[in-house]
Structure 1
Amino acid sequence: MMNEMLSYLPKGFSIFGLEIAFYAIIILFGALMALFLSSFEARKEGYSWDFFVTVFIIAFPSGIIGARLWYVIAEWQKEFGWDNFAQIFRIWDGGLAIQGGAILGITAGVLVVVFLRRGMNPLQAVDFAVPNILVAQVIGRWGNFFNHEVYGMVVDRSSWSFLPDFILNQMVDNLNNPEFIDVPLFLVEGILNLIGFLTIVHFIFPLCKKHNAYCVGDGLGYYLILYGAVRSILEPMRNPTYIMGTEVGASFVMAILFIVCGIVLIVTNHVITNFRTKNYRKKGSLK
């Protein structure tokens, strides 16, 4: 299918013989945008602009490694194997699983705040930074567009005629049948991620704070729930050619786990916070 795609948009460009992939540039731009938004939120609360720079320097490459590892593990038998081991390192050809990137990237970022970049409550840092990962994912999905990845089922082109031709032409499934295209799931997911980001930052956080239902650190839980929901909806719509792992799909299973973990994290965070608050008040009343 990949060879049959109508592709008039290049995957990148060359400078002095060095191939530069749009995929890499777009992912980096998305990550830098998340860094800017995180720094902006931290600055509003009195922290320095450069607080998250150290976090970014470690968390971003960790996220790339996590994304690649998750993809390689899920696709080991179909795409890699010991006979094709060198292919593991060719990330510019595509093959990054966002869920794996989120897990390792967030973990690395939290560890940096705890052990190296002290001066901020790690849970506060999570709330400043984690929701912005959705913005990075919105932008990063356009890297999939240039790399010809993240497609849905084959449908009639007319059902998506509201999209510009430069997108539709990239989605053509077979040159012999240009009236049929793959659903641009990269675009659908990007839009849903943007809605998720706006929902967390401009609706959930303000509403919870207004009704005293917010605990520092909830941002991670809300991210996992919303992104898990997005992926659990979209994975069954994915073209079977691009489903990772088993027939059910490793990404779908992970999406459900994201939702469950998100709920558990929020509930646990509230239970612990309420316990500490009551304990603090009890000690204060004894003085």
Structure 2
Amino acid sequence: MSFELGPFTIHLYGLMLALGALAAVAVAYVEAKRCGEDPEQLFNMALIVIPLGVVGARAYHVIDRWDFYSANPSQIIGGEGLGIFGAVAGGALGVIIYTAWKGLSTLRWCDILAPGLILAQSIGRWGNYFNQELYGYPTDLPWGIPIDLENRLPGFEEFTHFHPMFFYESSLNFLGFIVLMTAGRRFKDRLKDGDIMLIYFIWYGVVRFILEGFKPEVWTLGGVPTARWIAGAAVLIGVALLWYRHRAGEIRIPKSETSLDK
């Protein structure tokens, strides 16, 4: 879906992605200042993080839809379709490269970027709505969304309304944004660098693990949606690392220090 603005054609899918990216940068700017880091680093970091994020997102989507792209290789570069797991992986690589180059704390900057990332995901999912994609199984519930015949999956041509999976995920991502922003402030004296990032992995992992079971025709591995394997691993690793980091810290407190609390 698109509209004309003078001599320009504005595609709503791309517009929502752009708005999400701007929101992510704005939130990261605020978080960088709160954490005592130079927010100007963001603009240089973006020159590495955004391109690698786009490459990763596109690569994940192409692998996901390889049956189509293997038959239409000309569509691999320049076509529509992105995968968030690939975007996160590519963007994370960009953060690692930049922070190592500049001698910055990678974990601290991951914490700074995490709230904006999940907000960007919340906004970007509306691009799926305008493209009439990322919908679930047919439904007669009042909030079911109409899908045009040409955009319906094979086998679902006779149905008109479907679960708005994009909206479910967008809403839960926005709630996750509130959780991350609240945690960073309310528990700032107890959190370690990297904890906000781990909370992001846990939150989004749970969201995707649950919602993935309501999508028709998804990429599977061993009969299980591939996104569920990834999301489940993210949750387990995130929980384990959070527990270990804080539990290990408690174990290593010397007795001489604990006696001060008595």
Q: Same fold judged by TM-score > 0.5?
A: yes
Aligned length, in residue pairs: 251
Match of 2:77 among 80, 84, 89: 89
Backbone CA RMSD of aligned residues = 2.9
Structure 1 unaligned segments of length 5 or more: list them.
1-9, 283-287
Partner of 1:199: 179
Match of 2:46 among 36, 53, 56: 56
Correspondence 1:132 to 2:122 = no
8 A Cα contact 1:59 1:105, kept in partner = yes
Structure-to-structure mapping, 1:7-22, within 5 angstroms? 10-13=1-4, 16=7, 19-22=9-12
Partner of 2:260: none
SS in 2 for 1:196: helix
Q: Percent identity?
A: 27
Structure-to-structure mapping, 1:35-50, within 5 angstroms? 35-50=25-40
For residue 128 of structure 1, what is the amino acid of its counterpart?
I
Partner of 2:14: 24
8 A Cα contact 1:35 1:52, kept in partner = yes
8 A Cα contact 2:27 2:115, kept in partner = no
Structure 2 unaligned segments of length 5 or more: list them.
258-262
Partner of 1:5: none
Provide the C-alpha distance between the structure 1 equivalents of 2:11 and 2:110, rounded to a whole number of angstroms: 31
Provide the C-alpha distance between the structure 1 equivalents of 2:148 and 2:237, rounded to a whole number of angstroms: 34
Partner of 2:98: 112
Partner of 2:195: 218
Correspondence 1:72 to 2:62 = yes
8 A Cα contact 1:171 1:181, kept in partner = no
Provide the C-alpha distance between the structure 2 equivalents of 1:171 and 1:261, rounded to a whole number of angstroms: 40
Provide the C-alpha distance between the structure 1 equivalents of 2:203 and 2:157, rounded to a whole number of angstroms: 39
Correspondence 1:250 to 2:226 = yes
For residue 184 of structure 2, what is the amino acid of its counterpart?
F
8 A Cα contact 1:74 1:244, kept in partner = yes
C-alpha change, 1:32 and 1:152, in structure 2 (3 Å) is same
| Greater RCO structure (CA 8 Å; 6+ sep) | 1
Partner of 1:34: 24
C-alpha change, 1:87 and 1:272, in structure 2 (3 Å) is farther
8 A Cα contact 1:215 1:273, kept in partner = no
8 A Cα contact 1:67 1:100, kept in partner = yes
Provide the C-alpha distance between the structure 2 equivalents of 1:278 and 1:137, rounded to a whole number of angstroms: 39
SS in 2 for 1:255: helix
SS in 2 for 1:160: coil
Question: Given the two structures, how large is their TM-score scaled by the length of structure 1?
Answer: 0.76
Question: Given the two structures, how large is their TM-score scaled by the length of structure 2?
Answer: 0.83
Q: After the TM superposition, which of the residue ranges 96-105 and 47-56 deviates more from structure 2?
A: 47-56
